[in-house]
Structure 1
Amino acid sequence: MKNIAVIGAGTMGNGIAHTFAQFGYNVQLIDISEAALSKGIATITKNLDRMVAKEKISTTDKENTLANITTYTSIKKGVQYASLVVEAATENKELKLKIFKELDEGCPDDTILASNTSSISITEIASVTNRQNMVIGMHFMNPVPIMKLVEIIRGYNTSDEVMKFTIDLTKEINKTPVEVNDYPGFVANRILMPMINESIETLYNGVAGVSEIDEVMKLGMAHPMGPLQLADFIGLDVCLSILNVLYEGFKNPKYAPCPLLVNMVNAGKFGVKSGEGFYDYSENRKAEKVAKMFV
């Protein structure tokens, strides 16, 4: 296997492309937007420059990694020789189902189809294809080039051969695969999102402020990043989507998104990517408690 296609040039997609390319794979990075592809390559370049500055890789390693990546705006052209496709589009079920239908029609018959979804059922995604045994979840963590964990999600019909292959491949790119079964939120987000949601509820109820909540969790629980800051980095819109999947999947009120989170997303406050969330990420980089206006 030398050709890996990655769908989506955003934060997760460019990180996945970077990682595979750094380990010598030919990567076809695909996005419908030329601007998104240019931004993705710029991000990969910046991250590689950081690694060169820290002497983790050489300048030659950087150049080889970038040379291993080819960009496409057409799924059909980008996947025609792919042995594995990793879909890393927005966390939207309808969009993912549409993409997997297109992938099933455009990929070679022996291509394995993986999704980087953080919560959506792999079994449901596989159901729109004619290769359900070859569909699997590969949930990478952000930032992909640094974080070791990859949740490997077995769909109802995922074959043992595809499972083993994906686990072995994950190890080849110096990641740690952990096998989980296909239930809403899998393991990482089934545990993480209720904690983030409860942190937002704590703010919403006026128990403490943004920085205070984060400080308690960092100093008291040894978390490297507070839950509200982490939510900003994940994307508040993504957090809301995952909580909705959990709530719909389990029909349990403990997964119901906090009204404050819903209001912030409706107001376009998505966190780092929009420049504003629980903290201010504008140019002055001041950690302002912008969430107060929504309480």
Structure 2
Amino acid sequence: MKNIAVIGAGTMGNGIAHVFAQNGFKVNLIDINKDALEKGIQTITKNLERMVVKDKITNADKKTTLNNISSYTSIKEGVVNTELVVEAATENLDLKLKIFKMLDETCAASTILATNTSSISITQIAAVTSRPKQVIGMHFMNPVPIMTLVEIIRGYNTSDAVTNTIMKLSTTLGKTPVEVHDYPGFVANRILMPMLNESIETLYNGVAGVSEIDTVMKLGMAHPMGPLQLADFIGLDVCLSILNVMYDGFKNPKYAPCPLLVNMVNAGKLGLKSGEGFYDYSETRKAERVSKQFLK
């Protein structure tokens, strides 16, 4: 397997493309938004330059990695002759179902279709294709070039052969794959999101302020980043989406999103990407400082 397509040039998509390309794969990075595609390539370039400065790779490695990436604004053109497609589009069920229907119609019969979804059912996504045995979840962690975990989620019909192939492939990327079953939130977000939600509830109930809550968790629990800061970094809209998926899937009130989170998302306060969440990132230097702190 050498030819990969990644759909979505956002934070997760460009990170996934970066990792595959750096490990010798030919990658077609696809995004229907040309500006997003250009921004994704710029992000990969900057991350590679940072690695060169830190002596983790050479300039030749950087050049080779960038040469391994081709960009496309058409899904149908970008997935031709690929052996694996990793979808990393917005965490929206209808959008993902639409993309997977198109992939099923366009890709070769042998192509494995993977999704980087952080919570949506692999089984449900696979059901809109004629190849459910070849549909699997590859949930990379953010930032992808640095974080080593990949949750490998097998749907109800995912075959052993495809699961084994993706497990081995993840290892060749320098990642640690962990196989999990297809239930809302999988493992990572089933545990993480209720913690973030409870942190927001703690703020909502006036138990403590933002910095106080984060300081307690950083110093008392040895977390590298406080939960409210982490929620900002993930994106409050993404957190809300995942919590809604788990609440709908389990029908358990413990997964119901805090009203404060709902209101903040409705107000457009999405965290780092919007310039304001639980913290103020209105100044570019502030946003960069938070990102660098997490990337150390």
TM-score when scaled to structure 2?
Answer: 0.96
1:216 aligns with 2:216: yes
CA 1:286–1:146 in 2, change beyond 3 Å: closer, same or farther? closer
Match of 2:182 in 1: 182
Distance 1:144 1:32 in 2: 22
By how many angstroms is 1:184 displaced? 0.3
Match of 1:99 in 2: 99
By how many angstroms is 1:81 displaced? 0.8
By how many angstroms is 1:275 displaced? 1.1
Distance 2:285 2:190 in 1: 31
Distance 2:21 2:283 in 1: 31
Match of 2:28 in 1: 28
Distance 2:75 2:108 in 1: 13
Match of 2:228 in 1: 228
Matches within 5 A, 1:116-195: 116-195=116-195
By how many angstroms is 1:284 displaced? 5.8
What amino acid sits opposite 1:156 in the alignment?
A: Y
Distance 1:73 1:9 in 2: 10
State which drifts further: 35-44 or 278-287. 278-287
What amino acid sits opposite 1:218 in the alignment?
A: K
Distance 1:60 1:92 in 2: 38
Match of 2:40 in 1: 40
| Deviation digits for residues 211-249 of structure 1 (CA, Å, limit 9, x no counterpart) | 100000000000000000000111000000000000000
Distance 2:114 2:286 in 1: 39
By how many angstroms is 1:270 displaced? 0.8
TM-score when scaled to structure 1?
Answer: 0.96
What amino acid sits opposite 2:192 in the alignment?
A: L
Distance 2:266 2:98 in 1: 25
By how many angstroms is 1:282 displaced? 1.8
Distance 1:284 1:219 in 2: 27
Match of 1:15 in 2: 15
Q: Secondary structure at the match of 1:203?
A: helix
What amino acid sits opposite 1:247 in the alignment?
A: Y
Q: Secondary structure at the match of 2:229?
A: helix
Alignment: residue pair count: 287
What amino acid sits opposite 2:69 in the alignment?
A: I
Distance 1:181 1:247 in 2: 18
Distance 1:153 1:56 in 2: 31
1:112 aligns with 2:112: yes
Match of 1:290 in 2: none
What amino acid sits opposite 1:55 in the alignment?
A: D
Identity rate of aligned residues, in percent? 79
Matches within 5 A, 1:199-210: 199-210=199-210
| Deviation digits for residues 128-177 of structure 1 (CA, Å, limit 9, x no counterpart) | 00000000000000000000000000100000000000000000000000
Distance 1:179 1:135 in 2: 14
What amino acid sits opposite 2:48 in the alignment?
A: L
Distance 2:241 2:285 in 1: 27
Distance 1:285 1:72 in 2: 32
Q: Secondary structure at the match of 1:56?
A: coil
Distance 1:108 1:96 in 2: 19
Distance 1:78 1:89 in 2: 15
In structure 2, stretches of 5+ residues that fail to align are 288-296
In structure 1, stretches of 5+ residues that fail to align are 288-295
